[in-house]
């Protein structure tokens, strides 16, 4: 498939925002159990950053629309469309996350209830976003439980890394638990993503050249796509990158999303503001490459017909 950068930024930004909010909420709940309060200002400021990340993802999604003025219609098919459900879940999560941050900023006791509601909205958003891809059965690379697992783990890993960077400025005692959480989540994401890559490499296409054109002969081969110019099919359903280029993107996102951030997180301390901020920046750049690869890795069956191009 041909990756749309608007979708790449949408999914990675909101994933980081959801992961950051989860880190803040877990810190608050752990503090309530241990009776060691977390600075309310840190929770409020962190929530604002999570909201900004999600708003950035929402803004990026508009570049994927043919007519942005009609974006509200995307929610009309919520009964059957995971995309429509995402359109509803994302603003709901943003609103609840904002309310959670404001409640902490004002010291309101309702923050705990708003946090629980935002957690439910964030979980629903993870499900909706991942199911947009996992529900497409004829794209075997996406139609897998790994899609949901990878979206959750990668989003949470980047969110915890960002939480550690923010805590280094306002709540240094939280840096270590956030840092350990980011390491565990990144390792789990690495294992899950590696397993999905192994699975995808072993997939056998369900369609053939014969089924694509309705021919029964086992010797049928395509010599030409039937026209000299490009078309919507040749532009939108194939990324146009060589096999060597794809291998380069794969190696790049493995290094940037996992190997380098893990090393930086392992070396960081409670006062390592710059190193932790850099770890998040490197990791997010790697997630951009990973999400591009995820979208490009899907082999649409229609490319069997246009194989002289694809």
Closest CA to 45 of 60, 64, 27, 30: 27
Question: Taking the model in full, what pTM does it have?
Answer: 0.91
Distance CA 269, CA 102 (A): 30
For residue 179, is it within any domain?
A: yes
For residue 257, is it within any domain?
A: yes
Condensed to tens digits (0 to 9), the pLDDT of residues 201-221 reads 998 877 777 776 777 777 777
Q: What CATH number is given to the structural domain containing 193?
A: 1.20.1630.10
Phi–psi pair at 271, nearest 5 degrees = -110, 15
For residue 15, is it within any domain?
A: yes
Domain of 98?
Answer: 5-304
Does residue 138 contact residue 301 with C-beta atoms inside 8 Å?
A: yes
Helices (H) and strands (E) counted in the chain, each on its own, are 11, 0
Does residue 93 contact residue 47 with C-beta atoms inside 8 Å?
A: no
CA distances from 220 to 207, 217, 299, 310 (A): 14, 6, 21, 18
Closest CA to 306 of 248, 204, 236: 236
Task: Tell me: pLDDT of 102 over 90.
Answer: yes
Out of 129-138, 229-238, 297-306, give the one with best mean pLDDT: 129-138
For residue 193, is it within any domain?
A: yes
The total domain count for the chain is: 1
For residue 310, is it within any domain?
A: no
Rounded mean pLDDT, 119-136: 97
Distance CA 121, CA 235 (A): 35
CA distances from 93 to 21, 57, 118, 127, 266 (A): 10, 13, 6, 13, 31
Rounded mean pLDDT, 106-125: 93
Condensed to tens digits (0 to 9), the pLDDT of residues 138-174 reads 899 999 999 999 999 999 999 999 999 999 998 899 9
For residue 42, is it within any domain?
A: yes
Condensed to tens digits (0 to 9), the pLDDT of residues 253-298 reads 999 999 999 999 999 988 899 999 999 999 999 999 999 999 999 8
């Amino acid at each position: 498939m041909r990756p749309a950068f608007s979708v790449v930024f949408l999914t990675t930004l909101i994933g980081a925002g959801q992961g950051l909010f989860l880190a803040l909420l877990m810190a608050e709940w752990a503090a309530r159990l241990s009776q060691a309060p977390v600075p309310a200002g840190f929770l409020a400021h962190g929530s604002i950053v999570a909201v900004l990340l999600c708003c950035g993802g929402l803004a990026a999604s508009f570049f994927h629309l043919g007519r942005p003025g009609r974006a509200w219609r995307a929610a009309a098919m919520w009964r059957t469309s995971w995309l429509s459900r995402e359109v509803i879940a994302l603003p709901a999560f943003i609103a609840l996350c904002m309310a959670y941050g404001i409640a902490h900023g004002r010291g309101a006791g309702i923050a705990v209830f708003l946090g629980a509601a935002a957690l439910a909205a964030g979980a629903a958003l993870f499900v909706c976003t991942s199911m947009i891809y996992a529900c497409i059965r004829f794209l075997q690379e996406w139609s897998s439980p790994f899609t949901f697992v990878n979206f959750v783990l990668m989003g949470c890993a980047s969110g915890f890394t960002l939480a550690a960077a923010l805590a280094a400025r306002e709540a240094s005692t939280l840096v270590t638990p956030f840092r350990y959480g980011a390491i565990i989540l990144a390792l789990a994401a690495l294992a899950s993503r590696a397993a999905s890559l192994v699975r995808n490499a072993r997939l056998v296409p369900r369609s053939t050249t014969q089924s694509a054109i309705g021919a029964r002969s086992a010797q049928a081969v395509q010599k030409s796509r039937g026209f000299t110019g490009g078309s919507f099919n040749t532009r939108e359903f194939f990324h146009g990158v060589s096999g060597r280029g794809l291998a380069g993107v794969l190696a790049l996102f493995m290094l940037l999303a996992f190997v380098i951030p893990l090393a930086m997180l392992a070396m960081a301390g409670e006062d390592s503001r710059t190193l932790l901020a850099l770890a998040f920046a490197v990791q997010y750049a790697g997630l951009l490459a990973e999400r591009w690869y995820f979208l490009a890795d899907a082999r649409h069956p229609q490319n069997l017909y246009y194989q002289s191009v694809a």
